[in-house]
């Protein structure tokens, strides 16, 4: 049986290691890492815009002392969401137009 052959597993592992080395030499693994880091950059920019604008709205409500307390935070949350979406779209377009993204 093929499952009992002890040398089969090591040759399969050797094949996978050599394949990974070839892919690394061609830069395919680096491209995957770059794509992942670009995705994280877009996500962090979006979340940052929402959190910062929400904090600004909360600060406005706290220090202004108006009786319309939650509305400053709600308005700034919505503006931050819109700004985050806009910035994420701009960053995505910028990354998509990067000529180093072509993997042929």
Per-residue pLDDT averaged across 79-95, rounded?
92
Is the pTM value of this prediction over 0.75?
no
103: its two tokens: 């993997």
Write down the pLDDT at residue 21: 83
Whether residue 84 has pLDDT greater than 90: yes
Q: Give me the long-range contacts of 55-64 (CB less than 8 A, separation at least 24).
A: none
Mean pLDDT of the chain: 82
Whether residue 28 has pLDDT greater than 70: no
- Give the helix/strand (H/E) hosting 66: none
Tell me if residue 24 falls in helix, strand or coil.
Answer: helix
Whether residue 3 has pLDDT greater than 60: no
Per-residue pLDDT averaged across 34-45, rounded?
87
């Amino acid at each position: 049986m093929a499952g009992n052959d002890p040398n089969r597993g090591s040759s399969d592992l050797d094949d996978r290691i050599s394949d990974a080395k070839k892919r690394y030499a061609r830069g395919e693994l680096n491209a995957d890492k770059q794509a992942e880091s670009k995705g994280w950059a877009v996500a962090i920019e979006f979340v940052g815009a929402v959190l910062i604008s929400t904090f600004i709205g909360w600060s406005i409500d706290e220090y202004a002392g108006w009786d319309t307390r939650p509305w400053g935070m709600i308005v700034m949350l919505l503006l931050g969401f819109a700004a985050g979406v806009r910035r994420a779209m701009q960053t995505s377009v910028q990354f998509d137009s990067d000529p180093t993204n072509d993997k042929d």
